[in-house]
């Protein structure tokens, strides 16, 4: 687009001219230029210059055409017409006069009149508008300009200038405001008059167009063009577009009708004019935002002219023209896309649907490059034919563009006068060919493709971008820039490879291979060659008609070509000098004298060349025992390949071994100390697995993995191939869909599916026994001992380590107690390893001190002393359960069987044992009141005990385990920070808490009775904890376990009333006895008590049935009945109900408490006295 002249590229700008008062020109010009729309200014310092500027040289042409209308029009558009109207022919002429000149003395006034007269004479033929600007002096501050110039003088001025009053403008630069007003006034007057001028000019020519009174179509086109330009001047884009289109259509008709010029030049002129018109139309459409219309227009333009190729000798000119059309349109589209920001979608109103790419400048850049390529090819042909015809003479030098657009003529200098002489087509062709040679088309093509490539990559059209890159690379290849070409081709090949486009990959690799060859890069050359030779190009593809010229240096893809490449590359690596043509670059042969090392990994494109699969037959192998391993190799090269030697490299380098080809001469290189196997043949047949099975033996336990398979071929080539497991081996992507027999890498199909390149080497069998000797479940809170015995049975134990782990059977966070379950124990673990007690530490304290022993809550590490063969060592693990929970105990012994730890391997023995943790002892308690004594406790709080009264506490202990236990002692202990505020009596006698040997069988219960007499009144009296010492019943004296049971805090209050019921323990039929109720008032208040007695059939009683009485403070009231039993046996005494009026509390003894046994006659008790005596000491626990 840059090659177009400025006046064509930019929209026309109004031009006005200033004359007189040159000091104001700069001010006015800059203001007008900043107007919207801007106005250009042609400034003339004084009136004498007018005639010089406006002397119309073109009047000659006009005169000629006017004088002879029948003569043929020499051209379509004049080259300088547009420029002239933009820079030389103003629409408005402004004559600037100082006010003194007008209002001054008569001499000045006469000068003004003369200048005006001259002006009018000059501008009248051109219809240019006139404005008179009266410049008011800066010092003038009159309120009206009328004060400055008299009315008469103004009238005279208007008459002289033949102007309306509004076209005489006063310019006052007195202050800033006035200056601004004056400038604005000038601007609007100029704009208005300029619009009028352009409209009138346009209308004048339009009338001519509409009347169609032209002698030639050229004039018609020219006038349409002029109307359109004038419309553009006044920003009437619609009319401009219409007339440009008219001109374009008329021009297209000329192709078949015009005979004015020789054929070639005629076509050239038409195309160049069409190009300009098309450029204008496209610009207008795109600036109007009609992108779809512009694209559709371009499509039509392309369709109209693409077949107008012209005579064969000048085809290149057509392609150049076509290329320029695409380039210019791409640039236009690019700039307007940036301006509009968003590209509208495919337009629905266009006749034919537009596709996405047509909205992308990249599409046009790419086609511009393609046409430029066509041009280059055609130009080369033209040059060749031209040279064959006799060469290019120097006559082309004097050819220059003519007066008319698209025309060229010869410049002749005759007596210092330049004259134009028409050219013949032959001369023009020679000129064009000579001009064409001046340009380096390849760089232009690369630049276009680069733009296209970047643009396509920007919109993520990677394949289009890739194609551009490919074309760029071909251009680089053409100009022998192999580095850039190779770089681009590598990327292109990578895309084709990943998507499996073999034919395209073949072409790209063909180029990049040649680049490597020319650049002397041997390794790359060999790699690309091998990949090409192994591509799945079969003979089927040759059915398709590939143009060998287009297929690049590698030729069309075929099996024969693959074989050629195969032979070529293997000849090269064999070092067979002269056996194969390496090309022009001799460096390649020289560089290939050294060894060549290729690496093939899992993602390498060379996997098709050599694929190595390695499978161990067993996944777990014994140390020192030979295991079978199968190495399978597959090659897709078109011809068989003989491998000289094959080396398998493992992660344990001692296992590496070499397989030699027996058919090849043995070399001793690089196999010092390695195991060497011999294979009868190491020939790789196309598509067929070469399977080799050998033994491998490892002494070290752990993973044994085959890492690399290194194949040496010929004398120079080494291919290091990463080993792959058959189980996880990927297909060869390019060969996946090829028609071939699928074979397994191993003979055994199972191994082909599951085989791994790595195997696990087991440890040596341990010859040491590890015994965990625990029996039975563990009990909570006891220190449970697990004896561990290590016995050597063949191995000596060096640096033995015993690792102990406690793991929850159910898994998960067993040992972290939850926050909601605070543990009473000090331990933060439910089950914890307390320690390890070794049996021999006492024997050898030196050994014990050097031991490593790390004990954590659930993990322990203990060192095991040196043990000779047959010796044993044992220890005991002390584990404590805080909660009943089953755990798994893992014990692992690791040791070296040899004193030299570096040479020998550690051996491990693992043992595990599940141990249940159970609750052994359950303690419970119960509070009871003394016999037949009922204090009135007012509070509802439970448990509550009466103050100063003896209450009974029964503590029960139950053996919940499955083993008999021994109880040692039971006591109630106070916590350290609490004082005992009650009197405690042991049921067993005094303060004795030792129980002697009390056996508690599984399921059995033991109870102990304590008497508590609270001494203070308290809402929460701390009673303390029951401390029970117990142990398992066993022959060995195990340590006692202390189990604590916290008693609840109790409420102690003083009962206001205490009722004691007194009646004999038994009665005798017919024998009267006393039934007494003692109601004691412990308060300092008078208490009213009501009581009543129910009837009973078995008794006759004496006393009042119901009564009410008052009990004095701190005194006791006795209610006594005399009762005679009438029936024998268990009898219910009459029920007494005592009611305290003050506390609204009723008391009635329980049924059990008011039952008595009636003997039919008086019994005889032999041990009555002894029993009575004992009853005083041991109060009955319960009479129920």
Partner 1 sequence: MIVCVAVVGHQNNPLYIQSFTEADDALKLHHIVHCSLDVVDERVNNPKKSGPTLNETFLGLLYPTENYKVYGYLTNTKVKFILVTTDLDVRDVDVRNVSIAITLL
Give the binding site for partner 1 (CB under 8 A): 306, 345-346, 348, 353, 355-358, 363, 367, 370, 456, 461-464, 467, 496, 499-504, 507, 544-551, 737
Q: Which residue's CB is nearer to partner 1, number 551 or number 937? A: 551
CB of 230 to partner 1, least distance (A): 37
Beta carbons of 614 and 705 less than 8 angstroms apart: no
Q: How far is the CB of 302 from partner 1 (least distance, A)?
A: 9
Nearer Cβ to partner 1 (330/806): 330
Asked if 723 contacts 706 with a C-beta cutoff of 8 angstroms, the reply is: yes
**Distance in angstroms (rounded) separating the CA atoms of residues 892 and 802:** 6
Nearer to partner 1, 70 or 544 (CB): 544
Instruction: For partner 1, give the closer residue by CB, 464 or 1123.
Output: 464
Q: How far is the C-alpha of 3 from the C-alpha of 630, rounded, in Å? A: 71
Beta bridge pairs of residue 999: 966
141 or 737, CB closer to partner 1?
A: 737
Quickly count: other Cβ atoms within 10 Å of residue 576's Cβ.
12
Bridge-partner residues for 1157, per DSSP? 1066, 1130
The least distance separating partner 1 from the CB of residue 356, rounded to whole angstroms, comes to: 6
Between CA 607 and CA 530 the distance in angstroms is 10
If the CB atoms of residues 504 and 682 are measured against partner 1, the closer one turns out to be: 504
**Shortest separation between residue 503's beta carbon and partner 1, angstroms:** 5
Task: Write down the least CB distance from residue 256 to partner 1, Å.
Answer: 22
Answer for the pair 1018, 978: CB distance below 8 angstroms, yes or no. no
**CB of residue 250 vs partner 1: minimum separation in angstroms?**
26
Q: Which is nearer to partner 1, 237 or 546 (CB)?
A: 546
Q: Considering the complex, what minimum distance in angstroms separates the CB of residue 537 from partner 1?
A: 13
3-state class (DSSP) for residue 163: coil
- CB of 367: closest distance to partner 1 in angstroms? 7
Closest CA to 470 of 515, 500, 527: 515
Closest CB 653 distance from partner 1, rounded Å: 41
* Least CB distance to partner 1 at residue 443 (A): 23
Q: Which is nearer to partner 1, 478 or 652 (CB)?
A: 478
- Nearer of residues 295 and 720 to partner 1, judged by Cβ: 295
| Angle at the Cα of 847 from the Cα atoms of 841 and 850, rounded to 5 degrees | 115
Smallest distance from the beta carbon of 501 to partner 1, in angstroms?
A: 6
Peptide bond into 160 cis (omega under 30): no
Nearer to partner 1, 307 or 414 (CB): 307
Please give, one letter per residue, the 3-state secondary structure of 390-419: CCCCHHHHHEEECCECCCEEEEEEECCEEE
**C-alpha gyration radius of the chain:** 61
Residues near 1025 by Cβ (< 8 Å), separated by ≥ 6?
Answer: 972, 973, 975, 1044, 1045, 1046, 1047
Alpha-carbon dihedral 733, 737, 739, 742, rounded to 10 degrees: 60
- How far from 305 is each of 76, 224, 254, 308, CA to CA, in Å? 18, 21, 12, 5
The single-letter DSSP state of residue 1133 is: P
- Return the closest-CA partner of residue 1008 out of 967, 976, 1041: 967
User: Which CB sits closer to partner 1, 470 or 650?
Assistant: 470
Smallest gap from Cβ 802 to partner 1, in A, equals: 57
CA 859, CA 854: separation in Å to the nearest integer? 8
Residue closer to partner 1, measured from CB, 542 or 1092: 542
956 with 925: CB under 8 angstroms? yes
End-to-end CA distance of the chain: 122
DSSP 349: S
* C-alpha 11, offset from chain centre: 49
- Please report how close the Cβ of residue 570 comes to partner 1 at its closest, in angstroms: 28
96 contacts 135 by C-beta, under 8 angstroms: yes
Of residues 306 and 932, the one with the C-beta less far from partner 1: 306
Whichever of 373 and 1080 has its CB closer to partner 1, that residue is 373
Residues 6+ apart with CB under 8 A from 810: 886
Structural contact between residues 697 and 626, judged by C-beta atoms closer than 8 angstroms: yes
To partner 1, the closest distance from the beta carbon of 638 in angstroms equals 21
Cα separation, 115 vs 369, whole angstroms: 59
The single residue listed with the structure tokens 């392309």 is 302
Nearer to partner 1, 207 or 355 (CB): 355
Beta carbon nearer to partner 1, 467 or 598:
467
- Of residues 271 and 925, the one with the C-beta less far from partner 1: 271
Beta carbon of residue 355, minimum distance to partner 1 (angstroms, whole number):
5
Here the tokens at position 439 are: 């340009």
CB of 292 to partner 1, least distance (A): 13
Are 696 and 758 a contacting pair, CB within 8 Å? no
Least Cβ distance, residue 546 to partner 1 (angstroms): 5
Question: Shortest gap between Cβ of 466 and partner 1 (angstroms)?
Answer: 8
Q: Which residues pair with 933 in a beta bridge?
A: 1060
CB crowding 19-50: b at 16 or more within 10 Å, else e = bbbeebbeebbebbeebeeebbbbbbeebeeb
Of 305 and 1091, CB closest to partner 1: 305
Q: How far is residue 491's CA from residue 485's CA, in Å, rounded to a whole number?
A: 10
Quote the CA–CA distance of 290 and 296 in Å, as a whole number. 10
- Residues of 438-450 as b/e, b for ≥16 C-beta within 10 angstroms? eeebbebbbebbb
């Amino acid at each position: 687009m840059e090659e177009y002249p400025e006046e064509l590229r930019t929209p026309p700008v109004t031009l006005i001219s200033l004359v007189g008062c040159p000091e104001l020109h700069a001010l006015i010009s800059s203001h007008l230029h900043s107007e919207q729309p801007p106005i250009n200014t042609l400034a003339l310092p004084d009136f004498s210059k007018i005639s010089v500027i406006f002397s119309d040289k073109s009047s000659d042409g006009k005169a000629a055409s006017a004088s002879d209308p029948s003569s043929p029009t020499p051209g379509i558009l004049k080259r300088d017409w547009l420029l002239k109207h933009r820079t030389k022919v103003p629409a408005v002429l402004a004559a600037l006069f100082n006010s003194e000149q007008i209002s001054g003395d008569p001499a000045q006034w006469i000068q003004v009149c003369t200048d005006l007269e001259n002006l009018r004479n000059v501008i009248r033929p051109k219809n240019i508008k006139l404005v008179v600007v009266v410049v008011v002096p800066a010092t003038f501050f009159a309120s009206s300009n009328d004060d400055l110039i008299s009315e008469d003088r103004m009238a005279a001025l208007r008459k002289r200038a033949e102007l309306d009053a509004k076209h005489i403008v006063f310019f006052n630069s007195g202050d800033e405001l006035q200056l601004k007003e004056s400038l604005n006034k000038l601007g609007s007057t100029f704009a208005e008059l300029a619009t009028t001028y352009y409209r009138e000019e346009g209308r004048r020519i339009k009338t001519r167009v509409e009347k169609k009174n032209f002698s030639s179509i050229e004039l018609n086109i020219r006038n349409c063009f002029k109307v359109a330009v004038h419309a553009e001047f006044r920003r009437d884009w619609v009319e401009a577009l219409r007339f440009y289109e008219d001109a374009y259509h008329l021009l297209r008709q000329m192709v078949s009708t015009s005979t004015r010029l020789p054929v070639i030049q005629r076509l050239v002129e038409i195309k160049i004019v069409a190009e300009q018109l098309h450029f204008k139309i496209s610009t207008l459409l795109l600036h109007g935002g009609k992108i779809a219309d512009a694209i559709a227009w371009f499509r039509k333009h392309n369709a109209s002219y693409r077949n107008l190729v012209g005579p064969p000798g000048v085809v290149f000119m057509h392609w150049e023209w076509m290329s320029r059309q695409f380039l210019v349109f791409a640039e236009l589209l690019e700039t307007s896309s940036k301006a509009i920001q968003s590209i509208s979608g495919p337009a629905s109103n266009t006749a034919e649907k537009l596709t996405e790419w047509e909205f992308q400048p990249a599409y046009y850049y790419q086609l511009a490059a393609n046409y430029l390529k066509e041009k280059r090819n055609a130009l080369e042909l033209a040059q060749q034919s031209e040279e064959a015809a006799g060469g290019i003479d120097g006559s082309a030098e004097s050819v220059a563009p003519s007066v008319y657009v698209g025309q060229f003529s010869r410049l002749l200098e005759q007596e210092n006068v330049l004259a134009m002489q028409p050219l013949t087509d032959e001369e023009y062709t020679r000129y064009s060919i000579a001009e064409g040679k001046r340009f380096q088309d390849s760089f232009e093509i690369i630049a276009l493709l680069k733009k296209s490539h970047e643009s396509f990559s920007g919109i993520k059209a990677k394949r289009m971008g890739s194609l551009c890159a490919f074309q760029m690379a071909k251009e680089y290849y053409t100009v022998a820039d192999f580095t850039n070409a190779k770089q681009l081709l590598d990327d292109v090949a990578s895309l084709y490879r990943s998507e499996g486009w073999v034919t395209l990959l073949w072409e790209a690799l063909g180029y990049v291979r040649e680049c490597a060859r020319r650049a002397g890069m041997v390794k790359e050359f060999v790699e690309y060659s091998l990949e090409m030779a192994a591509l799945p190009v079969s003979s089927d593809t040759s059915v398709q008609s590939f143009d060998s010229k287009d297929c690049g240096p590698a030729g069309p893809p075929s099996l024969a070509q693959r074989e050629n490449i195969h032979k070529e590359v293997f000849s090269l690596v064999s070092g067979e000098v002269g056996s194969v043509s390496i090309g022009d670059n001799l460096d390649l042969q020289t560089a290939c004298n050294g060894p060549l090392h290729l690496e093939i990994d899992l993602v390498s494109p060379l996997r098709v060349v050599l694929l190595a699969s390695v499978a161990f037959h067993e996944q777990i192998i014994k140390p020192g025992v030979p295991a079978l391993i199968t190495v399978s190799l597959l090659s897709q090269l078109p011809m068989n390949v003989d491998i000289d030697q094959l080396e398998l490299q493992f992660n344990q380098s001692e296992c590496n071994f070499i397989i030699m080809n027996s058919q090849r001469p043995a070399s001793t290189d690089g196999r010092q100390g390695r195991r060497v196997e011999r294979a009868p043949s190491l020939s790789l047949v196309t598509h067929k697995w070469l399977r080799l099975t050998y033994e491998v033996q490892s002494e070290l336990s752990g993973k044994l993995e085959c890492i690399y398979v290194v194949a040496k071929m010929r004398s120079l080539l080494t291919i290091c191939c990463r080993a792959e497991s058959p189980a996880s081996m990927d297909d060869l992507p390019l060969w996946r869909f090829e028609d071939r027999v699928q074979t397994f890498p191993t003979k055994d199909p199972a191994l082909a599916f599951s085989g791994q390149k790595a195997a696990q080497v087991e440890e040596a069998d341990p010859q040491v026994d590890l015994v965990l000797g625990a029996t039975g479940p563990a009990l909570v809170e006891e220190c449970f001992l697990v004896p561990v015995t290590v016995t050597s049975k063949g191995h000596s134990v060096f640096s033995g380590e015993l690792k102990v782990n406690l793991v929850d059977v159910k898994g998960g966070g067993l040992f972290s107690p939850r926050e909601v379950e605070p543990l009473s124990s000090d331990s933060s673990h439910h089950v914890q390893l307390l320690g390890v007690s070794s049996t021999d530490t006492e024997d050898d304290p030196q050994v014990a001190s050097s031991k490593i022993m790390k004990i954590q809550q659930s993990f322990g590490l203990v060192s095991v002393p040196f043990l000779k063969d047959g010796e044993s060592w044992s220890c005991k693990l002390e584990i404590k359960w805080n909660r009943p929970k089953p755990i798994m105990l893992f014990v692992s012994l690791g040791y070296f069987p040899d004193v030299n730890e570096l040479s020998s391997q550690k051996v491990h023995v693992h043992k595990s044992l599940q141990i249940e943790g159970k609750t052994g002892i359950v303690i419970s308690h119960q509070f009871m009141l003394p016999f037949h004594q009922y204090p009135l406790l007012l509070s509802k709080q439970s448990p509550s005990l009466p103050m100063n009264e003896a209450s009974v506490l029964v503590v029960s202990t139950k053996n919940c385990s499955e083993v008999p236990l021994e109880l040692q002692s039971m006591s109630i202990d106070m916590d350290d920070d609490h004082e005992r505020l009650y009197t405690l009596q042991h049921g067993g006698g005094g303060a004795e808490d030792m129980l002697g040997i009390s056996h508690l069988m599984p399921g059995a219960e033991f109870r102990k009775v304590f008497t508590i007499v609270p001494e203070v009144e308290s809402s929460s009296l701390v009673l303390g904890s029951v401390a029970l010492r117990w142990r398992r019943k066993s022959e060995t004296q195990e340590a006692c376990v202390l189990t604590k049971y916290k008693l609840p805090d109790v409420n102690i209050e003083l009962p206001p009333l205490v009722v004691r019921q007194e009646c004999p323990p038994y009665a005798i039929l017919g024998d009267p006895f006393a039934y007494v109720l003692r109601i004691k008032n412990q308060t300092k208040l008078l208490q009213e008590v009501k009581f009543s007695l129910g009837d009973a059939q078995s008794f006759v009683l004496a006393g009042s049935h119901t009564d009410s009485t008052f009990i004095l403070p701190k005194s006791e009231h006795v209610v006594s009945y005399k009762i005679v039993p009438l029936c024998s046996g268990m009898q219910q005494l009459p029920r007494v109900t005592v009611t305290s009026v003050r506390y609204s509390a009723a008391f009635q003894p329980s049924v059990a408490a008011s039952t008595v046994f009636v003997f039919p006659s008086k019994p005889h008790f032999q041990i009555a006295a002894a029993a009575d005596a004992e009853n005083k000491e041991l109060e009955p626990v319960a009479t129920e």
